[in-house]
Amino acid sequence: MGYAIQWVRSLIFNVQMYAAMLVMGIVFFPWALVSRRGALMACQTYCRWVCWTAGWMIGLRTEVRGTVPTDEVMIAAKHQSFLDILMIYGSVPAGKFIMKRELMWAPILGQYALRIGCVPVNRGKRGAAIKRMIADVAAGTQIAGQLIIYSQGTRVAPGARKPYKVGTYALYKQLGQPCVPAATNVGVFWPRHGIYRKPGTAVVEFLAPMAAGMSQADFMAHLETVVETRSDDLMREAGFEPDGVHH
C-alpha cells in the first residue's frame, strides 16, 4: 500500500514538474530574450522549484555538499538522473552545457540554452566550438561560467560501471582551466527510467579541484577514482550497496 501511495505522489510530482517547466519557460521568455540574466534566473528558479517540490511532495530532500565552484572551471560530474543536472546547475552561478546544434531550433528551449551560454556543436566539431567559446568569453561577447560535462557520456545507474571517456581530458586540456569533480547518489532515489521516486536525501558533492595542466593518464585516473569512490560512499550512506547488496 505504501509503495502505491508513493507511486501516485511521484506521478503527481512528475506532472507538475514538467508543467512548471512550460509555465516558467513562457513567463520568463520576454526577459530572457532581452537579458542573459533573465535566462539564468529562469533556469535557476526552475531548479530550485523542482528541489523544493520534491521535498514536500515525495519526501525527497536535496543536499549540495563541498565548495560550490563560482569561477571559470569545468565540472566533471557523475550523472545518474535528471535530478543531478538540476542540483548542479541550480547551485552554480553560471552553469552551461555542450549541446547538439539541432537543439538551437527547439522552441523556447533552444533560446534559453543559447542565452545561458550553452555551446552548440556539430557532430565531430566540438574542438572548434570550444575554441570559439573561449574566444567569445575573452572578447566579452559570451559569459564566463562553469562548463558542466558528464565524463561517462550518459546516465549510469547506481552500481553499474561504465568507462570514463577520454574526451573529458581533451576538453580539460583545451580549456586550460581547473576541473571540479562532482559525485552523487541521486540515482538511488530518482532512477533513469520510470515514474517512482523514493523518499530520502539526494546528495551532490563537489570534490577538491584538479589543477590545470595534468597529464592525460594522471587526470583520467584521478578523476575516475575520486568520483567513483565518493559516489559509492554517498550511495552506501543512502542505504544502497554499489556491489549489489542492499541494506
Site of grid cell 537543439: 103
Helix, strand or coil, per DSSP, at residue 217: helix
Q: Record the cell numbers describing residue 179, joined without a space.
A: 576541473
What is the distance between the alpha carbons of residues 113 and 137, in angstroms, rounded to a whole number? 16
**In the chain, where the domains are located:** 2-237
pLDDT surpassing 70 at residue 123: no
Calpha distance 143→180 (Å, rounded): 19
CATH architecture of 2-237: 3-Layer(aba) Sandwich (3.40)
Cell of 98: 555542450
DSSP, res 165 = P
Residue-wise pLDDT for 58-116, tens only, equals: 999 999 999 999 999 999 999 999 999 999 999 999 999 887 777 777 777 788 888 88
Q: In whole angstroms, what is the distance from residue 32 CA to residue 83 CA?
A: 23
Integer Cα distance of 98 and 121 in angstroms = 7
